[in-house]
């Protein structure tokens, strides 16, 4: 883990040095460097996002089979749940695939926590409405919760069973509230990364879903 932390420190310092060559103003260059680093990380984990979307599309396709199982075992909810999980496994789908991006980002978040806690250069540096990237910002913390919720919400399958939808919804709300609480204890630099990452995740999901919808429509017409 220490190796990963040091790698992120060197990577961020490299980015900031190059941004400073174009934008000498420290109140802008640090924020831009954080955003650039976020974009690069999101590009690296893009294949994961595509895989998650495929799982979501499969969930939509197998909903008729799911409903048949629910109807068949309506007097035995436990058996119905077992059969549905078996179906998900066979088809390579997961009803909770939308929560996976958050879990994957935790190691990255921990590494960046180390980066910004050991980066004295951000002390007293402002960016946009944030007065100090080395201190907490309440509005940014709230944004972290909202964007966390939306990033997982748009990954959910619209055809999930009512029980699954409620479970996922509860999980999303709990995770969002947890992120607001945690963000109040983090430096704004780290929370800025999280918010920008979530915004990219939301945009990426909407674009890929739109592409998937167009492909399904084309296949239906054919």
Give dist(CA 38, CA 45) in Å, integer. 11
Rg (CA), the chain: 21
Query: Tokens standing for 140?
Result: 């940014």
186 secondary structure, DSSP code: S
What are the contacts of 73-76 at 24+ separation with CB within 8 A? none
Which residues are paired to 127 by β-bridges? 130
Any idea how long the chain is?
222
CB 39 within 8 A of CB 192: no
Which residues are paired to 130 by β-bridges? 127
Q: Report CA torsion sign: 81, 86, 91, 97.
A: positive
pLDDT number for residue 105: 67
The gap from C-alpha 124 to its chain's centroid, in whole angstroms, comes to: 29
CB within 8 Å of 150: residues ≥ 6 apart? 198, 202
100-117 helix and 188-221 helix, angle to the nearest 10 degrees: 150
pLDDT number for residue 145: 92
Q: What is the pLDDT along the chain (222 residues), one digit of tens a residue?
A: 677 677 778 888 888 899 999 999 988 899 999 999 899 988 887 777 677 666 766 776 777 787 788 788 777 778 888 888 888 778 776 666 555 655 666 777 788 888 887 777 788 888 989 998 988 899 999 999 999 888 877 766 555 556 666 777 788 788 888 889 988 988 898 899 889 988 988 888 788 777 766 655 555 555
CB within 8 Å of 175: residues ≥ 6 apart? 99, 102, 148, 149, 152
């Amino acid at each position: 883990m220490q190796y990963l932390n040091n790698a992120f420190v060197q990577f961020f310092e490299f980015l900031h040095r190059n941004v400073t060559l174009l934008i000498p103003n420290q109140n802008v260059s640090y924020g831009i460097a954080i955003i650039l680093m976020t974009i690069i990380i999101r590009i690296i984990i893009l294949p994961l996002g595509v895989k998650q979307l495929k799982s979501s599309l499969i969930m939509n396709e197998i909903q008729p089979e799911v409903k048949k199982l629910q109807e068949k075992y309506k007097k035995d909810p436990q058996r119905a749940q077992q059969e549905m999980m078996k179906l998900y496994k066979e088809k390579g789908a997961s009803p909770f695939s939308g929560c996976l991006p958050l879990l994957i980002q935790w190691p990255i978040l921990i590494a960046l926590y180390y980066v910004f806690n050991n980066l004295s250069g951000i002390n007293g540096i402002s960016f946009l409405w944030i007065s100090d990237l080395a201190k907490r910002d309440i509005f940014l913390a709230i944004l972290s919760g909202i964007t966390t919720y939306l990033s997982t919400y748009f990954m959910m399958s619209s055809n999930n069973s009512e029980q699954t939808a409620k479970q996922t919804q509860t999980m999303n709300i709990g995770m969002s509230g947890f992120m607001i609480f945690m963000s109040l204890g983090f430096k704004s630099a780290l929370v800025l990364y999280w918010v920008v990452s979530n915004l990219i995740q939301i945009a990426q999901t909407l674009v890929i879903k739109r592409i998937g919808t167009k492909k399904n429509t084309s296949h239906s017409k054919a």
